[in-house]
Amino acid sequence: MQENTVRLQPLSGPLWPLLCRAGFSLLRPQRDFGASTRQFRHQLSAPAAAAISAYQQHFAFAPEAVPLCFYYPLLQRAQLASMLQCRGLRVAGLIHIDNQLEALQPQTPQQLCSGGPVQIHTALRTETDDKGQYLRVEQQFWQQGQQVLRASSGYLLKKIPRSAAPVAITAALPTTEQHHSVLAQIQTQPDAARRYAHLSGDFNPIHLWHWSARLFGQRQPILHGMASAALLCQSLPQPLQRLTLRFRKPVYPGSLLQLCQISDGLYHLYEGQRLCLEAELRYWPDGHAVETN
């Protein structure tokens, strides 16, 4: 079992050094990740109050609580740094397919920003099913000796060709007329990806330029998955304790999205007839609301 301790840059610093290294990972000889779990621990500075405030204002979140999606850019730093220490893993081009965030205790922005350095424990392992091989990233977020949050992310490593995969029968996606309940219409801005890049530090080229998006098979730059998730969360009535996401199709900046409630706790985000995001969520139970200072 492999374990490393690395100190990351604070959230206010750019992610571009890690992203550049991720891009150069395309030059690595591809190697089998293996069956063992790789473990890493990273420490980084608590985010600045201005960073949380800018995020809350951009997505119109209430100022009293740290939005659940806000933790992801911090976790992402540890993810990239961990992946880059795995020899033979080509980080560039990994497809983010799912994400789960679960807060174990509520935090106000003041508590997070003044609580001192953040420790993030990251474990990497592979999973395989009839559709492909995946990289599973399990993370724990600690501050002041207490676990604040746990998270899990999945990335597609290798897709099994259709000719080799068993044929699966799936139900047809609901049309617009079949949506159970349209809760909100969300108009994304043409510069939404660039604005989120400045908020999160994620300047992945697939989100910024047409030429780079086309290199990855997209007709135009796509919106960050967690920006789409934040747009979904901003339309909900109260802060979330747990959020499970499945990224189905990319969201294109400038498009009109429909947030639909499919059942209790299950939501879909559509662009026309395209199902872009599935979300299962859970609010904080009664008596666990964030106490403001």
Domain limits at 102? 5-283
Task: For residues 82 and 84, give the distance between their C-alpha atoms in angstroms, rounded to a whole number.
Answer: 5
State the pLDDT at residue 283: 93
Give 102-137 pLDDT, tens digit per residue: 999 999 999 999 999 999 999 999 988 888 889 999
What percent of the chain is predicted at pLDDT more than 70? Answer: 81
Which is nearest to 99 in space by CA: 247, 233, 204?
247
**CB within 8 Å of 150: residues ≥ 6 apart:** 102, 104, 138, 139, 140, 141
Section 216-224 average pLDDT: 84
Domain count, the chain: 1
Give 148-202 pLDDT, tens digit per residue: 999 999 999 887 776 655 544 444 444 444 556 788 899 999 999 999 999 988 8
Task: For residues 76 and 58, give the distance between their C-alpha atoms in angstroms, rounded to a whole number.
Answer: 20
**CB within 8 Å of 266: residues ≥ 6 apart:** 278, 279, 280
pLDDT reading at 36 higher than 70: yes
> For residue 288, is it within any domain?
no
CB–CB of 81/26 below 8 Å?
A: no
Distance of CA 279 to the CA centre of its chain: 12
Cβ burial of 171 (10 Å; 0-12, 13-18, 19+) is: exposed
CB–CB of 141/147 below 8 Å?
A: yes
> For residue 292, is it within any domain?
no
* Residue 187: CA count within 13 A, CB half-sphere: 1
State the pLDDT at residue 108: 94
pLDDT reading at 204 higher than 90: no
- Count other Cβ atoms within 10 Å, centred on residue 162: 9
> For residue 195, is it within any domain?
yes
Distance of CA 236 to the CA centre of its chain: 18
State the pLDDT at residue 69: 95
Strand partners, 156: 95, 134
Section 84-101 average pLDDT: 86
> For residue 138, is it within any domain?
yes
Section 17-29 average pLDDT: 66
CATH number at residue 79: 3.10.129.10
**End-to-end alpha-carbon separation of the chain, Å?**
43
CB–CB of 213/258 below 8 Å?
A: no
> For residue 291, is it within any domain?
no
